[in-house]
Amino acid sequence: MTPLEIILILVAGFASGFVNVVGGGGSLVSMPALIFLGLPSAVANGTNRIALMVQSIVAITYFKQKGFFYPKLSVLLGIPAVLGSIVGAKFAISLSDEMFNTILAIVMIVVMFLIIVRPEKYFLKPKKEKDSEEQEDEESYGPLRMALAVAAFFGVGFYGGFIQAGVGFIIIAALALITGMSLVKINSLKVLITAMYILVSLLVFVISGKVDWAIGFWLALGNALGAYYGSKFVVYKGDKWIRIFLVVTVTIMAGMLLDVHKLLGF
């Protein structure tokens, strides 16, 4: 790698970590950036998961320190997600670069729409804090609800293993609609479940030789720095400007993946 390539990877990682903390969807920046740097789509997909794994570990540590840690329910929902991620990762590796890039561009546009509309605000309501006994009862779900949760998280795992970009919106929606949990608890569960299936899907990419460890290191470093400064930005500025930045960036990258510039004669 040249010094310029390292700088570009750091910038992509920084932007991804920053966006993930402020609004979500950071892989919409890092994945296309790795592809534009010349990585085959499957390698970009696998390499991106190194940074995501580092970010997940940091988030889990933070939530645990704050007292939001639910390993029993996380494992229960994480198992089908892990199984789904293995299938999704294998499917991603089997696709041609052209097909994967087209699917990624379409997903980017859909997720960008969700970022603008923010559907989670319509079904996520603030909840009163409950004592430990009430919280324990809240995790006892009937067979039908648990069956729905298992099926939903197999789907979540498949999508996460396949592309990952914007999966946080899907997890939040699934947990809110199926379990009715508070947003804080949903986020704490989300990062642990995500870490479980990202680790397994990363192993699938590693076994298939679809990971560039050197690029992954620099991407993870940039991601960590972006997450740190993103946290500070949220406190002082909110997420309005980052959403504008994300919409512009994703629109340009999706257009490049679909070769829109060629259609326009550029």
In 23-131, which residue ranges form alpha helices assigned H by DSSP? 27-36, 41-65, 71-94, 97-117, 120-123
For residue 227, the SS3 value is helix
Query: Is the residue at 103 inside a domain?
Result: yes
Taking residues 180-184, what's their average pLDDT? 69
* Mean pLDDT of all residues belonging to the chain: 78
Q: From residue 79, how far is each of 76, 82, 186, 191 by CA, in Å?
A: 6, 5, 17, 14
In a domain, 154, yes or no: yes
Predicted confidence band of residue 132 (pLDDT cuts 50, 70, 90): very low
258 φ, ψ to 5°?
A: -90, 5
How many angstroms from the chain centroid is the CA of residue 47? Answer: 14
Q: How many CA atoms lie less than 13 Å away from 184 in the CB half-sphere?
A: 12
CA angle (10, 193, 36) in 5-degree steps: 30
* Domain contains 134: no
- Residue 136's pLDDT is what? 40
Query: Among residues 57, 12, 18, which one has the least CA distance to residue 39?
Result: 12
Name which residue leads in pLDDT, 98 or 237: 98
Residue 61 lies in a domain: yes
- Asked whether residue 133 is domain-assigned, the answer is no
Specify the range with the lowest mean pLDDT, choosing from 39-53, 127-141, 144-158. 127-141
- What would the pLDDT profile of 205-254 be if each residue is shown by its tens digit? 999 999 999 999 999 999 888 877 776 675 565 556 656 666 666 676 66
Give how many domains the chain has, as a whole number.
1
pTM of the model: 0.73
Give the per-residue pLDDT at 105.
Answer: 82
Q: CA 134 to CA 255: how far, in whole Å?
A: 49
The burial of 165, by beta-carbon neighbours within 10 Å (0-12 exposed, 13-18 middle, 19 or more buried), is given as buried
Look at residue 18 and tell me if it is in a domain.
Answer: yes
For residue 85, give its domain range.
3-127+140-263
In a domain, 135, yes or no: no
Q: Note whether residue 132 is domain-resident.
A: no
The pLDDT of 33-37, averaged and rounded, is 89
